[in-house]
Amino acid sequence: MPILNVELGSRSYPIHIGSGLLGHGLAKFPVKRVAIITNEAVAPLYLERLLASFEKIGAGGTAIILPDGEAHKNWDSLQIIYDRLLAEKCDRSTAIVALGGGVVGDLAGFAAATYQRGVPFIQVPTTLLSQVDSSVGGKTGINHPRGKNMIGAFWQPRLVLADTDTLNTLPDRELSAGLAEVIKYGLIRDLPFLEWLEANIDRLVSRDAAALSYAIERSCRNKAEVVAGDELETAAEGGRALLNLGHTFGHAIETGVGYGTWLHGEAVAAGMVMAADLSQRLGWLAVSDVERVRELLIKARLPISGAKLGSERYLELMSHDKKVIAGRLRLVLLKRLGEAVTWPAATPEQMRATIEQCCAD
Amino acid sequence: MPILNVELGSRSYPIHIGSGLLGHGLAKFPVKRVAIITNEAVAPLYLERLLASFEKIGAGGTAIILPDGEAHKNWDSLQIIYDRLLAEKCDRSTAIVALGGGVVGDLAGFAAATYQRGVPFIQVPTTLLSQVDSSVGGKTGINHPRGKNMIGAFWQPRLVLADTDTLNTLPDRELSAGLAEVIKYGLIRDLPFLEWLEANIDRLVSRDAAALSYAIERSCRNKAEVVAGDELETAAEGGRALLNLGHTFGHAIETGVGYGTWLHGEAVAAGMVMAADLSQRLGWLAVSDVERVRELLIKARLPISGAKLGSERYLELMSHDKKVIAGRLRLVLLKRLGEAVTWPAATPEQMRATIEQCCAD
């Protein structure tokens, strides 16, 4: 059972990946009381098992069950969490546990970062997307009507427990959404992994357990390396920002269409095609490279065209991106397959051309 | 003009204290764009001068003016800030500046900690209380109906600019509220300063500029030392928690009566009398010591009795205190004048006796 480590000095923490971890993965974790934050879809499946696991190590628990979906990653849900934590007199020694996907993890993490100025946090991701991406690295936050994840904090978990058994109950659409982030690691920094994905994408789509485990571990390893090098995304070039390939276009889709209509991974898939298209316009990728990206995403059952919002609306939405520095948007683009760069010099004309090309029917 | 330093490794920052700093204190600060957060009482007095100072160093600025008072230290005000920052496309290189007292500083600091997962922050405190206490140390947050500062983050400023000229416009009641926190430093860790305060309290109340400057500098020096030793208030005993002398009782008063009725410093003054009374019941202080505390606070024109909420209500409110660990309330009490300790073993009976003694008419 692989255990990776995210190396962040005094804030380092392990990622456990494997089958059955919900039942026995907590062996030595020091905690006396937990508040498990989950949603209505996940709670009936896994909440009881996780509460029992905490009981086994002597930790009493309470559960806060939120409505499901990205539309609820907002202040109202956060308010429900704060109210319950205070009503139950949870103090600074109470650990907040996220049981669910990226939305639950981001919300619960932000609650952990801000409740009484910060309490311990544990991630128990139950979707492919959260296992390979959002549970690792400490990004937490909520959405604002004007932009995704605009309010948030960096708050590292003490432990990530990725039980691969939970993928058995994951809807097909969410499995595919997770594969978008898996493919992202290949595109931005791991060409051999990209080639492995091209050879094994059908095994992943059909939920071959060994293939999924390998993809999760290799994705987490990539993520852990990037995060260790640039925890707070302050690197002037490259660094953690590269993990956002496809995300600037993708966030525009999610915000423009309304949170929850597109899954995050779906929007990222379309966004990665747009980033590849723009990279080709800049002369970095060949047309055949862009085609390879499209084909892999199609085989992963992901969309390869963005929502038709109109290019002006895209540009307006993208101008709110967190990677804007001193008024200048830094896009993540591909120098070649397996190597991403941050690029501050794409012109509105180039972006319009890509948007019009990639958002057609 | 004294410059102190808060030693926190890569997060170290200077505190400038002196006359005229609003006009020329920014000499070398590296920032291109600022969002100044202030309130309706402070803006007419100092906003223009501060904006001009930023212009002088080449930084464009916008201002967000909030209603005045502790009652507004809540999510609604935070929402106003986020909306404006996003509407004006402030990005991660925009510095958030707090111009005002503790409420503005706590709110603006929490906005800085959470906007786009964190932006640079500058404190320009304009009240005695914020100059000697809340602007230094990185505690930020908002109130929850169930408790003060229950939602927040540690987020250190890059610079604290305490212009002592701003005290000239401070209402008497707020000057006194600030003196409560000044007296606190003497009580918890600086007996010579306590004795100086007893000898000079009339000069401070009558706003003698030299006396005020000295008191601010010595207070900041005490605070900086404590914060440097225990940035995140994680010390098991003593440490940063000692800065909360009088605050557990005081927060109960503020929350119980309704935010904004008592000034924070007034509630802390009454709370320090209660802490001294309880310390005397435990045999640590002499009756004459408690009398010295009362006399100094009376000369500072501060209340020495708590609000009459009833002892059960006090105990209920105090059970939400952030210093509760694993269900056990740690009170800050006085071993002797000039030496505070955290004490986890006060019984409800002892606390009731103090509350009934110190909240009589």
Of B33, B87, B154, the CB nearest to A118: B154
Q: How confident is the model at residue B359 (pLDDT cuts 50, 70, 90)?
A: very high
Residue pair B95/B33 in contact (Cβ under 8 Å)? The answer is yes
Residue ending a domain, among A169, A197, A216, is A169
Residue pair B34/B61 in contact (Cβ under 8 Å)? The answer is yes
Supply the angle between the helices A172-189 and A209-229 in degrees, to the nearest 10: 50
Q: Residue B156: which CATH number? A: 3.40.50.1970
B114 inside 8 A of chain A by CB? yes
What are the pLDDT tens digits along chain A (361 aa)? Answer: 788 999 999 999 999 999 999 988 888 888 999 999 999 999 999 999 999 999 999 999 999 999 998 899 999 999 999 999 999 999 999 999 999 999 999 999 999 999 999 999 999 999 999 999 999 999 999 999 888 899 999 999 999 999 999 999 999 999 999 999 999 999 999 999 999 999 999 999 999 999 999 999 999 999 999 999 999 998 988 899 999 999 999 999 999 998 889 999 999 999 999 999 999 999 999 999 999 999 999 999 999 999 999 999 999 999 888 878 777 889 999 999 999 999 998 999 999 999 999 997 5
**Co-location of B24 and B131 in the same domain:** yes
- Contact call for A327 and B89, based on CB within 8 A: yes
Q: Is the ipTM of this complex over 0.95?
A: no
**Co-location of A106 and A205 in the same domain:** no
Q: Residue B332: which CATH number? A: 1.20.1090.10
CA nearest B197: which of B300, B92, B315, B351? B300
**Co-location of A230 and A311 in the same domain:** yes
**Co-location of A67 and A143 in the same domain:** yes
CA nearest A337: which of A268, A264, A287, A270? A287
Cα–Cα distance for residue pair B277/A111, rounded to 1 Å: 37
Of B144, B153, B232, the CB nearest to A153: B153
Q: Which residue has the tokens 């990205």?
A: A70
Query: Which residue is catalytic, options A73, A247, A281, A294?
Result: A247
Residues with Cβ within 8 Å of B24's Cβ and at least 6 positions away in sequence, in order, are B53
Residues of B whose CB is below 8 A from A144: 82, 86
Of A79, A118, A324, the CB nearest to B91: A324
Q: Mean pLDDT of all residues in chain B?
A: 94
Query: Which residue is catalytic, options A72, A139, A322, A330?
Result: A139
**Co-location of B72 and B197 in the same domain:** no
**Co-location of B177 and B97 in the same domain:** no
Amino acid at site B117: R
User: Tens digit of pLDDT for each residue in B194-210?
Assistant: 999 999 999 999 999 99
> How far apart, in Å, are the Cα atoms of B138 and each of B122, B127, B159, B272?
11, 17, 11, 23
- Contact call for B114 and A153, based on CB within 8 A: yes
Burial string for B250-282 (b: 16+ CB within 10 Å, else e) reads: bbbbbbbeebbebbbbbbbbbbbbbbbbbbbbe
- Contact call for A92 and B325, based on CB within 8 A: yes
Residues of A whose CB is below 8 A from B84: none
Cα–Cα distance for residue pair B167/B208, rounded to 1 Å: 11
**Co-location of B163 and B177 in the same domain:** no
User: Tens digit of pLDDT for each residue in B69-101?
Assistant: 888 999 999 999 999 999 999 999 999 999 999
Q: What is the pLDDT of residue A356?
A: 95
- Structurally, how many domains does chain A consist of? 2
**Co-location of B156 and B242 in the same domain:** no
User: Tens digit of pLDDT for each residue in B125-174?
Assistant: 999 999 999 999 999 999 998 888 999 999 999 999 999 999 999 999 99
Q: How confident is the model at residue B51 (pLDDT cuts 50, 70, 90)?
A: very high
User: Tens digit of pLDDT for each residue in B177-195?
Assistant: 999 999 999 999 999 999 9
Query: Which residue is catalytic, options B39, B143, B222, B244?
Result: B244
Residues of A whose CB is below 8 A from B82: 144, 150-151
Residue pair A342/A330 in contact (Cβ under 8 Å)? The answer is yes
Residue pair A164/A16 in contact (Cβ under 8 Å)? The answer is no
Residue pair A161/A123 in contact (Cβ under 8 Å)? The answer is yes
User: Tens digit of pLDDT for each residue in B271-329?
Assistant: 999 999 999 999 999 999 999 999 999 999 999 999 999 999 999 999 888 878 777 88
Query: Which residue is catalytic, options B16, B218, B221, B223?
Result: B223
Residues with Cβ within 8 Å of B273's Cβ and at least 6 positions away in sequence, in order, are B246, B290, B293, B294, B297, B304, B305, B306, B358
Q: How many angstroms separate the CA of residue B24 from the nearest CA in chain A?
A: 24
B152 inside 8 A of chain A by CB? yes
Q: Which of A240-244, B113-117, B249-253, B256-260 has the lowest mean pLDDT?
A: B256-260
Q: Which residue has the tokens 């995210």?
A: A6
Interface of A with B in 210-249 (CB under 8 A): 232-233
Residue B244 designated active-site? yes
Residue B117 designated active-site? yes
- Contact call for A32 and B117, based on CB within 8 A: no
Residue ending a domain, among B149, B169, B189, is B169
Of A79, A91, A113, the CB nearest to B326: A91
**Co-location of A48 and A181 in the same domain:** no
| Containing structural domain, residue A127 | 3-169
- Contact call for A117 and B144, based on CB within 8 A: no
Pick the residue from chain B with its C-alpha nearest to A324.
B91
Residue ending a domain, among A169, A195, A219, is A169
Residue A247 designated active-site? yes
**Co-location of A133 and A277 in the same domain:** no
Would you tell me how many other CB atoms lie within 10 Å of the CB of residue A186?
A: 24
Query: Which residue is catalytic, options B221, B264, B281, B294?
Result: B264
Residue B218 designated active-site? no
**Co-location of B20 and B124 in the same domain:** yes
Residues with Cβ within 8 Å of B154's Cβ and at least 6 positions away in sequence, in order, are A117, A118, B113, B138, B139, B140, B231, B232
Interface of B with A in 154-193 (CB under 8 A): 154
**Co-location of B10 and B156 in the same domain:** yes
Q: How many angstroms separate the CA of residue B76 from the nearest CA in chain A?
A: 11
Q: What is the pLDDT of residue A116?
A: 96
